[in-house]
Amino acid sequence: MPTNRPSSARFALRQWNWVVPAFVAPAALILIVLMALPMANAVVLTFQFWNGMTPPSWIGLSNYQTLFSEPLFWSALRNTAYYTIATVVLKTSLPLILASLLSSGVRFSVFFRTMYFMPVVISLAISGLLWKMIYEPNFGLLNETLRFIGLGNFTQIWLGSSNTVMPSIIAVSLWQGLGFYLLIFYAAIQGVPSDLYDAAKMDNANALRRFWHVTVPMLRPVIVLVIVLNTINGVKVFDQVWAMTAGGPNHASDTLGTYLYSTAFGSVGNPQFGYATTIAMVILVLSAVLSIIQIRIGRRQEVEY
């Protein structure tokens, strides 16, 4: 007997048609308004000259030409690359090694994990200010300690010298971020089947070989994730550098982020929003390209067990 009621499948399809978009729409709208539209506007702005005081004027590729011929940009790019490579290597390898050690049954593991994580909860700006006081070359804690223990010859003008400023900032970044990545690796290591370690032991593999041939391969996806996160954070670094040195002395610690900020909001001539946005585009492209490359490399070999 024919029925006037729609089939349950058609009814379900009609329900799906309006319910899903209705629930997705608010979040999508927010993302479009607060991210997509500003990003599109930013891309347009890179082709304009705008000092914020007069209407923007179209200048084509001039901002990009100026950017790539500006020595300060290349200096900032070099510093950013230096910072990124150093922090990626240090903030990936050291937390992994420490996590592996803490997972091996060492005593007071909880205490050590807590101690390593504590700097993570301090804001980047505050940690920058704190270390600025420690690094103070005349009477700061670091140099005073070195003098006290007889290592006065090793004192440096940490943040005031172009030779030591970047390593000093990288050290602070490592101190701040190590605990976070250590916890990520520690949690991941708990998921590695113990059978694999047992099998390796039976094959007379020592701790180092077990780490290299079991832990590292099994943690490959997590390692790739950590590398990607560190890369993105490195390319867009700003807070700590600005709090500690504002890119000084004499642009020696200027990164793309601080160069962007001082160009947009500093006392350099008038604000150059178009030019500053061009710098932001470089940061975006660098972050995206490096992340894609790293993810693709990471996917090449997948370990199954």
Partner 1 sequence: MTKITRLLAGAALGLVSAFLPIAHSTAQETVLHVMGWETRHVPGNPVWDKLVAGFEAEHPGVRVESNVVPITQYLGTLAAMTAAGTLPDVFFGHVKALELGRAGLAVDYTDVMTDEFLDGFSPNLLAQLTTADGAVYALPYTGFAFGIFANDRIMTELGLTVPNTWEELIEMAPKIREAGLAPLAWGNLNTGTCRDFVMPLIAQYGGDARALDELTASWDSEPVIQALTLLDRLTKAGVFLDGVNGLDINQATQIAYQGRAAMLYGPSRNVGIFQKEAPPDWLENFSVHKMPAVIADGRHFMAAGSGLAWVVNDKSPNKELALEFLKYVFSPPVYNDIIAGFNGFPSRPSAMDAVALPQVREMIQWATEDGARNVLYGAGSSDAVDAACQAILDGSIEPAAAAAKMQADVLKARGKS
Which residues contribute to the site for partner 1 (CB under 8 A)? 50-54, 66, 132-133, 135-139, 157-162, 165, 245-246, 248-251, 261, 264-273, 275
Shortest spacing between CB 150 and partner 1, in angstroms: 17
Give whichever of 151 and 288 is closer to partner 1, judged by the CB atom. 151
Name the residue with tokens 């079991």: 214
Give whichever of 179 and 274 is closer to partner 1, judged by the CB atom. 274
Residues paired with residue 48 on neighbouring β-strands, in sequence order: 58
Locate 11 and state its tokens. 């009814």
- Residue 285 near residue 232 (C-beta atoms within 8 A): no
Give whichever of 169 and 184 is closer to partner 1, judged by the CB atom. 169
Question: What secondary structure does DSSP assign to 25-88, as a single string?
Answer: HHHHHHHIIIIIHHHHHHHHHTTEE--SSS--EE-TTHHHHHHHT-HHHHHHHHHHHHHHHHHH
Give whichever of 51 and 233 is closer to partner 1, judged by the CB atom. 51
As a 3-state breakdown, the chain gives helix, strand, coil percent values, each rounded to 5, of: 70, 0, 25
Give whichever of 244 and 286 is closer to partner 1, judged by the CB atom. 244
Locate 143 and state its tokens. 């140099």
Q: How far apart are CA 205 and CA 74, in angstroms?
A: 47
Give whichever of 60 and 191 is closer to partner 1, judged by the CB atom. 60
Shortest spacing between CB 163 and partner 1, in angstroms: 10
Name the residue with tokens 């899903």: 20
Q: How far apart are CA 193 and CA 208, in angstroms?
A: 18
Report CA-CA distances (Å) from 233 to 108, 161, 236.
31, 24, 5
Give whichever of 67 and 226 is closer to partner 1, judged by the CB atom. 67
**Residue type (1 letter), 135:** Y
Give whichever of 135 and 211 is closer to partner 1, judged by the CB atom. 135
Angle at which helix 165-190 crosses helix 220-235, to 10 degrees, equals: 150
Q: How far apart are CA 234 and CA 228, in angstroms?
A: 10
Shortest spacing between CB 247 and partner 1, in angstroms: 9
Shortest spacing between CB 256 and partner 1, in angstroms: 17
Shortest spacing between CB 143 and partner 1, in angstroms: 9
Residues paired with residue 58 on neighbouring β-strands, in sequence order: 48
Taking the mean position of all CA atoms in its chain, how far away is CA 2?
Answer: 64
Shortest spacing between CB 50 and partner 1, in angstroms: 7
Q: DSSP code of 58? A: E
**Residue type (1 letter), 206:** N
Q: DSSP code of 268? A: S
